[in-house]
Structure 1
Amino acid sequence: MYKAIIVDDEAVVRVGLKNTINWQEHGFELTGDYANGRDAWEAIEQDKPDLVISDISMPFMDGLELAGLITASYPYIKVIILTGYDEFEYAQQALRLKVSDFVLKPITAREIRQLLDKVRSEMDEERQRREDLSRLQSQLKQSFPILKERFLERLVAVGLGRAEIEDRFAYFGLAPLAAGSVAVVADIDDFGDRELLSYEHDVEFLRFAAFDIFEEIAERDRTIVFRTREERMVAIITGEGDENDIYETAFRYAEEVRHHIEKFLSFTVTIGVGRIVQSAELLPGSYKGALSALDYRFLHGKNRVLSILDLEGQPEAASLPNLSWDRKLVSTVKTGSIREAQDLIEHGIAELKKSRVPIETCFLQMQKVVLSLMNAIQEVVPHDREGSIDSQMMLMEVYRFKTLDEIEAWLKQVVSAVMTEIADNRNHFTNTQIHRAIEYIETNYANDKMSLQELCRHVLMSSSYFSLVFKQNTGETFVEYLTGVRIAKAKELLQSTGMKFYEIAEQVGYADPNYFSILFKKRVGMTPKDYRDRLAKESGT
């Protein structure tokens, strides 16, 4: 029900309007009638009616002056002017004041009723629009986090132009990215051995708890985080420093997330780290690299931080875009077994047979598969080591076969050769990095500040993956190996020089002579003094 008032200095008009109109029937409650604009304005300020029906000519304050005050202070109040003055100047002024209607007296009760119905209809429409706008604004506010996540997902998965990125970053209140950025993607391995009483509810709660940790740790660095529709957690880490500093920040962040989720939630995540890109438009390349690193979970196990640089190194050329035939095949070629890859090939060929598509379509499909395999090779295998499989990768070779069964057998041979080459290259790359690490240790063992983090920065590997492959290759941890090198150098100095024990300790990287002596005895079975005495006795001097 809308509120209305009447303003007219003629009492007969006011009484007539009150008594001849059933106001409630037309959606209005008549809350007052006033003989001049001044009294009416006081009532308007206090009660704020929805409709004012006013004459023009009145004492103290006329109708147009009243309409001007209403328009200035309460523009949502409707004003209808009833007047006996048929002058264009009045009508013009009423239009300027945005009066809803300008009606000449005399006016019948029927015309008044029609006028009220018309005004009520307009007010209903306006109220509906306001309610719709309010509802939309409320919905937008509720949907804002989801809209932000979908934008960020498009940014890393599809790629966007600079103008749209700048516009959307400003809209969502995101700080612009610095010169270097890297994508970090976390995926829950499983939920451990816990019993979930209400599976769906508990799983969603655990995912929320994991993302809460992911988000909380991100707040310490310049990092944007969000979740994808595949329930992965993504961080975009950016910085102005050199690439080593950005990688170190990414690895530290990923390790801390992995550790806290395992410690506080009792389940594990595997985290992939992509390659650094120089602008927001290139983020899909880093995101793709992080997803590729996650694929290696099958090979290296769960609960790890895996960097695409550790696993595949820097690509020597831009890789081809992903093509459509089952991404699982390329993923399996890079991280799975030959048997699994062959099973996927058999499944793909069987699907082609079922589809009964023309032979040309089959040839095109096989060419796409070959292109995807070539893409995998370009990503993983250096150009100078691709020669052994070039003859099998000719795109036109598929056209020499007459049946899908022949193509299947040929494709299995190609995949087997590719997987062998990739495995050899991966071992070669890892062995090269470990060899560089060993050379660095043996060159810098005298530095008492040498640390695992320093060594990993030198070989550009994450500490988690380096520790894994270093022990696999040497049989020792980094600390054990470094201690072994230092003690071996100390034994040489004890045998070939007359240096004091504290001088030898300093020469091999130990600032504390007592700690050196303890480690030496633990490794050699005797103190440095006993060792030198034994050498002297054996030499007869």
Structure 2
Amino acid sequence: MISVFLVEDEFIVREGIKNMNWEAYGLSFVGEASDGELAFPLIKKKHPDIVITDICMPFMDGLELSRLVKKELPQTKILILSGHEEFEYAKDAIQIGVEEYLLKPINSDELLQVVRRAADKITEERQAGRRDREDEAGEKERREHAKSLFFSNLIEGRLSMAELLEKARSIGIELAASYYQIMLVKIGRSTFDSYSAAVNEMNDKLQNYISSKSEHMVCFDREPEGEIILFMEESKEKMEEDAKDLADFLENMLSEKPEIGYFGSVGSPVSRIREISQAYETAAHAFAYRFLVEGNQILRFEQIDRKPVLMERADGEYHVGKINFGGLDKTRIKAFLRGGDSEEIPIFVEEYLENAGDACQNSLIFRQYIVMDMYVAASHFLEQLGDSEEFSRKEPFESPVQMEQVLQQLDTTISYVISLFREVMEIRDRHTKEHNSDIVELAKKYIDKNYIDEDLSLNTVAAEVNVSPNHLSAIFSQKTGHTFIRYLTDVRMNKAKELLKCTTMRSSEISEKVGYKDPHYFSHLFKKNQGCTPTQYREGGAKG
């Protein structure tokens, strides 16, 4: 309902306007004041859609109030009541952006006619804004899907150079540059893609920052890595500067929300488009360390210590050496099994064992302790997942022969743990696919029940099924072959076709029944999707 606020110093006039039957015309009278000084804080609090104000009032006149309101609430429509016909007053009102300049005396019917005209304009603007937002949301989802497919082609080398350049231009990316670099960024401490308004807000701010630098960097939204940023510059120095600026932006943005956290990685720079896959591989390698090092940092590939572990000897015998129990953090194993990628397993296992100290290299007993620790962690993880029955691997030391095979050298121990984790992740991924299918089905059921709600969106459905909007968009496309917006529109159009064929409801009534308050926008969408107007469809002008 459109809300109205009145500012008038004459008590009799104020009471007369206040007591008009506003609700009968779909309007809500939300407040009054006798002058601009009293009115302004009330208007800021109530955010009325329409302000009716006199010009000549004590303390603060109507023109000064109008200036303040337009600055604070630019969408609010202002109607001025004045007993002055002087052109200067009207001129000032026009410059301020006042909607109507009305001369006193004015009767209630005339005033209502003007207010309803302003209300109709507000409704039209809101519907136009909604149309723009829906069109933008649909286009954004399609664009992000196309970008994700393009990035897969880019790093997997499936297209020729000419095809790559053409595909890039079709989604607004100019790939030509002297140097390239990749940064991976994951915002949020949770390895689950659960819904978080705060994380969504931070991701939006990050994407907006990157969009403002679109000439030299592009953001790709990918699961499960998070955001992938491709830097493109004419010099390594400028590219380093871009990466540092982005890292600083992340640190400053998230310093106000320490509970969220983030982790990022930067790969090695390359000078050819074909080498971008190598830049991605080095960034992904560094990104795997998010389970091994502290969060809230951007780790560069060059910072990783890749020196081989040296085996120490004392008098021809291996000695245990130092044990770093601080490096044996079981929560890191659990976090990795939950959120890591199968390609990251060798990196994680080797670094985890190296972090345990040189005892892992030198002591068979210590390796036995480590293997059992990891086996128990893996079993416990699958129990929590509810899939422990699928875990076919038996305990690693059921026989001396088996123990010797697993523990004889550090390399054989590493191989065993890698194969153990691979089996666990295969089970996890099967569970995830089933879970994703369940999520999509829940989302579809929620859409089917709530399509009449004009505010239904990717964000609201994601919150309902408790996943991030980006994750829902990705799995929705995978499972249905359509974007979320496309599916929602199809549901609404199919229901509209049913109502057109099976009821005598007017098109404007059907529009509201399927989630579109603006019948003009509904007709536009219907014709765009069905090739005919709702009336033509009802008359048999197109096949359902």
TM-score under structure 2 length normalisation: 0.40
Flag the structure with larger Rg: 1
